[in-house]
Structure 1
Amino acid sequence: MTTRKATARATPRAQDNWDDYRYFLAVARSGTLSAAAEQLGTEHTTVARHIHALEGVLNARLFHKSHVGYALTAAGERLLTTAEAIESALLASKAAAAGEQDIAGTVRIGAPDGFGSMFLAPRIHLLTEQHPRLEIEIFAAARLFSLTRREADIAIGLAGADHLRVASRRLTDYRMFVYGTKSYLKRAARIRTKTDLLQHPFIGYVEEHLFSPELSFAGTIGVDYNARVRSTNLLTQVHATLAGHGLCILPAYVAAAFPTLEAVLPDEVEVTRTFHMHVHEDHWKAAHVRAVAAFIAEQVDAHVSLFLDGA
Structure 2
Amino acid sequence: MPPPAQKEIGRAISDSARVIEEAIDRVVDTVEGQDSPSLHGTVRVSAPDGFGTAFATPALVRVRRHHPRLQVELITATRQLALRPSGFDPAVVIGVPSSSRLVTEHLTDYTLGLCACDDYLAKYGRPKSPAELREHPLIFYIESMLQVGDLDIERHLPGMTPAFSSTNVFAQLEATRQGSGIGVLPAFLTQRTQLRRLLPDEIDIRLPITLAVRREAVTHAAVRVLWAALRQEVAERADELLPE
TM-score range, shorter chain: 0.7 to 0.9
Give the counterpart of 1:132 among 68, 71, 93.
Answer: 68
CA distance in 1, matches of 2:72, 2:226: 9
What 5-or-longer segments of structure 1 have no aligned partner? 1-98
Note if 1:104 corresponds to 2:40: yes
Partner of 1:304 in structure 2? 238
Residue 200 of structure 2 aligns to a residue in which SS?
coil
Query: Which residue of 203, 217, 223 corresponds with 1:269?
Result: 203
- Structure 2: runs of 5+ lacking an equivalent: 1-29
Give the TM-score, by structure 2 length: 0.79
* Alignment-mate amino acid for residue 303 of structure 1: R
Moved runs in structure 1, 4+ residues, more than 6 A?
Answer: none
Q: Which amino acid aligns with 1:261?
A: L
After TM superposition, the structure 1 = structure 2 runs for residues 83-98 of structure 1, keeping only pairs within 5 Å, are none
Displacement after TM superposition at 1:219 (Å): 4.5
Distance 1:161 1:194 in 2: 30
Q: How many residues align?
A: 210
Q: What is aligned with 1:184?
A: 120
TM-score (norm 1): 0.63
Q: CA deviation at 1:224?
A: 2.7
Preserved CA contact (<8 Å) 2:96 2:208: no
- Root-mean-square deviation (CA), in Å? 2.0
Residue 211 of structure 1, CA deviation: 1.6
Q: Does 1:209 align with 2:142?
A: no
* Match of residue 249 from structure 1: 184
Identity of aligned residues (%): 29
The code of the aligned residue for 1:304 comes to: A
Deviates more, 1:180-189 or 1:273-282: 180-189
What CA distance in whole angstroms lies between the structure 1 residues aligned with 2:239 and 2:54?
A: 15
- Residue-by-residue CA offset, 1:67-89 (whole Å, 9 max, x unaligned): xxxxxxxxxxxxxxxxxxxxxxx
* Contact 2:117/2:195 (8 A) holds in 1: yes
Residue 226 of structure 1 is aligned with which of 138, 146, 161?
A: 161
State the AA in 1 paired with 2:187. A
Partner SS, residue 244 of structure 1: coil
Q: Which residue of 2 aligns with 1:286?
A: 220
Preserved contact between residue 204 and residue 237 of structure 1 (Cα < 8 Å): yes
Q: Which has the higher contact order (CA 8 A, sep 6+)?
A: 2
